[in-house]
Chain A
Amino acid sequence: MKAAVIVFPGSNCDRDVKVALDAATGRPTSMIWHKETELPALDLIVLPGGFSYGDYLRAGAIAARSPVMRAVVAKAQSGTAVLAICNGFQVATEAGLLPGTLMRNRNQKFVCKDVHLKVETSQTAFTARYAAGQVIRLPIAHADGNYFADPETLAEIEAEGRVAFRYVTPDGAPDDDANPNGSAANIAGVFNREKTVLGLMPHPERLTEPALGGIDGRAMFDSLVAALS
């Protein structure tokens, strides 16, 4: 699998996801500067976490209009897989790659902690190494992770099985106590219609080694390697 991480000014999880990808693929992941206008042949594009352009204007809004994003959108439209994590998810919604938007957390505060997630489907390149219905633990770290979409869009996402992950209790209940930011229907991650683009607020790259406190993020990278190599 040939993977690349897009680096915006203010990206700060770019190295972390590169480390996770390098380990999963056994080859160096390329880093692509936001001022590039063309992309090489790739199997996976990662939009990493961080504070692109300082989150000024709206989280992800300026990055979505940076030169490289035209090329990323074109690649995504032609079927290249895109993994958009945290700020990358915000960029992807702003760029129209994914439906909905990420609003300020309902308690108005930044939150960094491990959360439990239910894997809604294993029938995708991103989640094949998980079991559908499995409860996993991943960290979140964001101030704007409150997923919102209008009722028609939400109904459509649900009907098409495009919810990737939902915030749940350790027992798997998607109740309000398990919802760390106010997201609609406890949605933590969504796919595009073709399930080639995944956006999620949790950080799979932060739990890929036992020393970091868990390995529930590793299966996502292993899934991608298996599907895209």
Chain B
Amino acid sequence: MTAAAAIDFASHGLSREEYERLKATLGREPTLVEIGVIGALWSEHCSYKSSKKWLRRLPSQAPWVICGPGENAGVVDIGDGQAAVFKMESHNHPSFIEPYQGAATGVGGILRDVFTMGARPIANMNALRFGDPAHPRTRHLVAGVVAGIGGYGNCVGVPTVGGECGFDPGYNENILVNAMTVGLADAARIFYSAAAGIGNAVVYVGSKTGRDGIHGATMASAEFDEATEEKRPTVQVGDPFTEKLLIEACLELMASDAIVAIQDMGAAGLTSSVFEMAAKGEVGIDLDLDRVPTREPGMSAYEIMLSESQERMLMVLRPERADAAAAIFAKWDLDFAVIGEVTGSGHLVLRHKGETVADLPVAALSAETPEYDRPIRATPPQAPLDAASLAGGEPLDKSLLRLISAPELASKRWIWEQYDHMVMADTIQRPGGDAAVVRVHGSGKALAISVDCTPRYCAADPEMGGAQALAEVWRNLTATGAKPLAFTDCLNFGNPERPEIMGAFAAAIEGLRRAALALDFPVVSGNVSLYNETQGRGIPPTPEIGGIGLIADWRRMAIIAPELGHILVVVGETRGHLGQSLYLAKCLGRAEGPPPPVDLAAERRHGDFVRAEIAAGRLRSCHDLSDGGILVGVAEMCLAGRTGAKVRLPATEIPAMAAFGEDQGRYLAALDRAEVTGFLARAKAAEVPAAEIGKFDGSDLTLEGFFSISLDAIRTAHEGWFPGYMAAP
């Protein structure tokens, strides 16, 4: 082997200390290929070296969890021998540099994580965070990201059923694109990545390897600077058509007993997949890189190992099944190549053009993976809002129209109409509700899916913000009648080497931990995206949460649309918390105060009550309360149900507090008149505050004593902002 001549370890993402650690483990100078391989494996993106210490604190156990964090995706039992497989992942850095391909390949990557486990993908979701709408680059990024997500998901034929999209100047130079996939598998046939069986064939399938995406993982582990534009070649190019074929071919092969282990090639490509398979299986693997299908001649071993070309998988097959497997891939016109074998050496040995270019002791290097306990500094608490300073705002109807047409709350129809949200013909709640709902094909069950985070809460108080994000996802799922099962997360933060960032990260984890325990809602998969930072300015802390819940009988689910004549009941306590509220930000131009406190015991009690009412068939229209509070929630229900409403609000010090306060743990329920008395009595018995506050009626939204606005005016405001913004020159 030839040691690397001039050692420029920094350009491979290694610090001097990490380089010395590698050298000591090997007992010699590493080769260029070895530096490249370890530089990628020890990158923040692949190794979680700054976050691992904290991630361990999150609860990941429950009787229904089949596979928690650590595999390609999480797996939960949904009964009848079936399992839901899901994960969310970030593709932030590439999407900022090249929005269409960055977002598209983000979808491709998360789909592969899910079908690698043996699941057929049945739904995609996404969470998007863009900069200030007025920032010159924002419109271009929105257009490109949305087209990229649609371009990939639509072609693959997996419905994109919902998500969220927010805007904040804090994302001007670092947008967030988090994509989530949910799949359906046979609970007894989940596929894992641990290689096994000395002598078994290591097989490469899918697209050929090209020179795209080299250094993608190390790019995603560094801040942006003036030279970011030059990183365009590190963004991969997606081919959703090949992905569709790969899904079908893999699922066809998975129906046999040919596969021992399987791993997709994601960040750091072949490097990461082969190393992970060997490490998990505690075996060695020999690879002959000359046998890797390449797109162009003359690729070096370094390039082959670090390429992030898309739509590729690595498998360990039973040798006697290799021919049958090859025939399946030939049927789907995909490359299939035996490129190596499982060995008992415990080493990853790479050969290229007759030379050994790497010989890495797998277990020793895994054990040496850096783990940092970075210094943390707590986010200072916010002073409480002075209620007196809130008096004398504009009329409430003006504020309602302002909020419902604000970028945060305006209809996202412009986005989701570009996503095929109906393919597979099982989408029974389309985008725009509290959670998307897709049926478990051919059964009476359905899965509810929701993604959420409120970054302005997290910035003010990361611990409360983390708890709130989880509680809101749980509440969204509950509002459809689903029993929340588990969540996945994308923890998007700035540079972890800065103590205030690491402090916010640790606090957010603590909030998530408390909420997950209280709500019996474990984490089963996720991803950490750090260094979302440009020239020393980080994004607001954004622990994006994706949750799934099970609806046992989809004929008994709740939707947000009420019926004419329904009585409106608010569940939960309205105190009128306006700190860090959207009202404060949009109508008073202030970002102040602590975020609304989350009383997790109350959250659980209220949610369990609402879910039981839905399951009993007594409640068919329900909406969770969050951004914008009661008036915005009622307006959204009116729009969905095409009916007006007459509402009276509980008395608070200042009317805006009741109208727009963002107190947690609340739902709006729309009930048949005959159900109201029983509902309120059962709520009381369950120690759940509930009060009748109005009726759905007519074609205006009327707030008694304040205003009456036509539903048309509300709809125009709500639907108008996004298309108007995107059409502006």
Grouping DSSP codes into helix (H, G, I), strand (E, B) and loop, the B interface class, with mixed when no group exceeds half, is mixed
Check B62 for interface membership: any CB of A closer than 8 A.
no
**Contact indicator per residue, chain B 524-567, by CB within 8 Å of chain A (1) or not (0):** 00000000000000000000000000000011000000000000
Chain B residues lying within 8 Å of A56, measured Cβ to Cβ, are 241
CB closest residue in chain A, given B425: A16
| A212 in contact with B425 given A51-B155, A112-B420 (CB within 8 Å) | yes
Chain B residues lying within 8 Å of A215, measured Cβ to Cβ, are none
CB distance from B92 to the nearest CB of A (A): 23
Which of B241, B416, B425, B555 lies in contact with A51, CB distance below 8 A?
Answer: B241
Does A205 contact B420, Cβ atoms closer than 8 Å?
A: no
| A112 in contact with B241 given A13-B157, A211-B554 (CB within 8 Å) | no
CB distance from A142 to the nearest CB of B (A): 9
Chain A residues lying within 8 Å of B700, measured Cβ to Cβ, are none
Check A65 for interface membership: any CB of B closer than 8 A.
no
Does A16 contact B427, Cβ atoms closer than 8 Å?
A: no
**Contact indicator per residue, chain B 194-236, by CB within 8 Å of chain A (1) or not (0):** 0000000000000000000000000000000000000000000
CA distance A141 to B150 in the complex (A): 11
Chain B residues lying within 8 Å of A49, measured Cβ to Cβ, are 423
Check A161 for interface membership: any CB of B closer than 8 A.
no
Chain B residues lying within 8 Å of A137, measured Cβ to Cβ, are none
CA distance A203 to B422 in the complex (A): 10
CA distance A56 to B425 in the complex (A): 25
Does B244 contact A110, Cβ atoms closer than 8 Å?
A: no
| A110 in contact with B150 given A9-B245, A12-B244 (CB within 8 Å) | yes
CA distance A110 to B422 in the complex (A): 13
**Contact indicator per residue, chain A 177-217, by CB within 8 Å of chain B (1) or not (0):** 00000000000000000000000000101101001110000
Check A54 for interface membership: any CB of B closer than 8 A.
yes
CB distance from A137 to the nearest CB of B (A): 13
Q: Which of B239, B423, B427, B430 is the most central at the interface, judged by chain A CB atoms within 10 Å of its CB? A: B423
CA distance A201 to B422 in the complex (A): 14
Check B154 for interface membership: any CB of A closer than 8 A.
yes
Does A54 contact B155, Cβ atoms closer than 8 Å?
A: yes
Within 8 A of A (CB), among B229-253: 239-242, 244-245
CA distance A12 to B160 in the complex (A): 14
Chain B residues lying within 8 Å of A212, measured Cβ to Cβ, are 422, 425, 427-428
Chain B residues lying within 8 Å of A13, measured Cβ to Cβ, are 157, 423
Chain B residues lying within 8 Å of A50, measured Cβ to Cβ, are 157
CB distance from B105 to the nearest CB of A (A): 15
Check A100 for interface membership: any CB of B closer than 8 A.
no
Which of B239, B332, B418, B424 lies in contact with A16, CB distance below 8 A?
Answer: B424
**Contact indicator per residue, chain A 95-117, by CB within 8 Å of chain B (1) or not (0):** 00000000000000111110000
Chain A residues lying within 8 Å of B425, measured Cβ to Cβ, are 16, 19-20, 205-206, 208, 212
Chain A residues lying within 8 Å of B427, measured Cβ to Cβ, are 212
Chain B residues lying within 8 Å of A70, measured Cβ to Cβ, are none
Check A148 for interface membership: any CB of B closer than 8 A.
no
Which of A15, A55, A143 lies in contact with B424, CB distance below 8 A?
Answer: A15
Does B554 contact A10, Cβ atoms closer than 8 Å?
A: no
Grouping DSSP codes into helix (H, G, I), strand (E, B) and loop, the A interface class, with mixed when no group exceeds half, is mixed
Check A60 for interface membership: any CB of B closer than 8 A.
no
CB closest residue in chain B, given A205: B425
**Contact indicator per residue, chain B 154-168, by CB within 8 Å of chain A (1) or not (0):** 111100000000000
Chain B residues lying within 8 Å of A10, measured Cβ to Cβ, are 155, 241, 244-245
Chain A residues lying within 8 Å of B241, measured Cβ to Cβ, are 9-10, 51, 53-56
Does B147 contact A12, Cβ atoms closer than 8 Å?
A: no
Does A141 contact B423, Cβ atoms closer than 8 Å?
A: yes
Does B430 contact A213, Cβ atoms closer than 8 Å?
A: yes
Does A112 contact B333, Cβ atoms closer than 8 Å?
A: no
Does A113 contact B417, Cβ atoms closer than 8 Å?
A: yes
CB closest residue in chain B, given A19: B425
Does A9 contact B424, Cβ atoms closer than 8 Å?
A: no
Chain A residues lying within 8 Å of B475, measured Cβ to Cβ, are none
**Contact indicator per residue, chain A 35-79, by CB within 8 Å of chain B (1) or not (0):** 000000000000001110111100000000000000000000000
Q: Which of B154, B240, B416, B420 is the most central at the interface, judged by chain A CB atoms within 10 Å of its CB? A: B420
Q: Which of B147, B155, B242 is the most central at the interface, judged by chain A CB atoms within 10 Å of its CB? A: B155
CB distance from A181 to the nearest CB of B (A): 12
Question: Which bracket fits the contact residues of B?
Answer: 20 to 34
Check A145 for interface membership: any CB of B closer than 8 A.
no
Check A88 for interface membership: any CB of B closer than 8 A.
no
Does B240 contact A112, Cβ atoms closer than 8 Å?
A: no
Check B112 for interface membership: any CB of A closer than 8 A.
no
Within 8 A of A (CB), among B383-439: 416-425, 427-428, 430, 439
Chain A residues lying within 8 Å of B423, measured Cβ to Cβ, are 12-13, 16, 49, 141, 206
Check B572 for interface membership: any CB of A closer than 8 A.
no
Check B293 for interface membership: any CB of A closer than 8 A.
no
Within 8 A of A (CB), among B317-348: 332-333
CB closest residue in chain A, given B333: A9
Check B496 for interface membership: any CB of A closer than 8 A.
no
CA distance A175 to B211 in the complex (A): 50
CB distance from A90 to the nearest CB of B (A): 14
Within 8 A of A (CB), among B243-268: 244-245
CB distance from A208 to the nearest CB of B (A): 8
CA distance A56 to B242 in the complex (A): 11
CB closest residue in chain B, given A54: B241
CB closest residue in chain A, given B437: A211
Does B439 contact A111, Cβ atoms closer than 8 Å?
A: no
Chain B residues lying within 8 Å of A213, measured Cβ to Cβ, are 428, 430
Within 8 A of B (CB), among A1-41: 9-10, 12-13, 15-16, 19-20
CB closest residue in chain B, given A143: B154
Chain A residues lying within 8 Å of B439, measured Cβ to Cβ, are 211
Within 8 A of A (CB), among B272-328: none
Does B420 contact A110, Cβ atoms closer than 8 Å?
A: yes
Check B151 for interface membership: any CB of A closer than 8 A.
yes
Does A109 contact B418, Cβ atoms closer than 8 Å?
A: yes
Does B417 contact A112, Cβ atoms closer than 8 Å?
A: yes
Chain A residues lying within 8 Å of B555, measured Cβ to Cβ, are 211
Does A110 contact B430, Cβ atoms closer than 8 Å?
A: no
Chain B residues lying within 8 Å of A110, measured Cβ to Cβ, are 147, 150-151, 154, 418-420
Chain A residues lying within 8 Å of B245, measured Cβ to Cβ, are 9-10
CA distance A91 to B623 in the complex (A): 43
Which of A20, A141, A205 lies in contact with B154, CB distance below 8 A?
Answer: A141
Chain A residues lying within 8 Å of B333, measured Cβ to Cβ, are 9
CA distance A51 to B498 in the complex (A): 47
CB distance from B220 to the nearest CB of A (A): 27
CA distance A212 to B421 in the complex (A): 12
CA distance A182 to B634 in the complex (A): 36
CA distance A56 to B154 in the complex (A): 14
Does A51 contact B154, Cβ atoms closer than 8 Å?
A: yes
CB distance from A45 to the nearest CB of B (A): 20
Does A51 contact B417, Cβ atoms closer than 8 Å?
A: no
Does A55 contact B155, Cβ atoms closer than 8 Å?
A: yes
Does A54 contact B417, Cβ atoms closer than 8 Å?
A: no
CA distance A107 to B241 in the complex (A): 23
Does A109 contact B422, Cβ atoms closer than 8 Å?
A: no
CB closest residue in chain A, given B158: A12
CA distance A51 to B154 in the complex (A): 8
CA distance A228 to B634 in the complex (A): 50
Within 8 A of A (CB), among B131-171: 147, 150-151, 154-157
Does B244 contact A111, Cβ atoms closer than 8 Å?
A: no
Does B418 contact A12, Cβ atoms closer than 8 Å?
A: no
| A141 in contact with B428 given A51-B241, A110-B151 (CB within 8 Å) | no
CA distance A53 to B418 in the complex (A): 21
**Known A9-B241, A9-B244, A13-B423; further 5 A-B contacts with Cβ < 8 A:** A20-B425, A53-B241, A54-B244, A111-B418, A143-B154
- 16 A-B contacts (beta carbon < 8 Å): A9-B244, A10-B245, A12-B157, A12-B244, A19-B425, A51-B154, A51-B155, A51-B240, A51-B244, A53-B241, A54-B239, A109-B147, A112-B419, A143-B154, A208-B425, A213-B430
Residues of A with Cβ closer than 8 Å to B? Answer: 9-10, 12-13, 15-16, 19-20, 49-51, 53-56, 109-113, 139, 141, 143, 203, 205-206, 208, 211-213
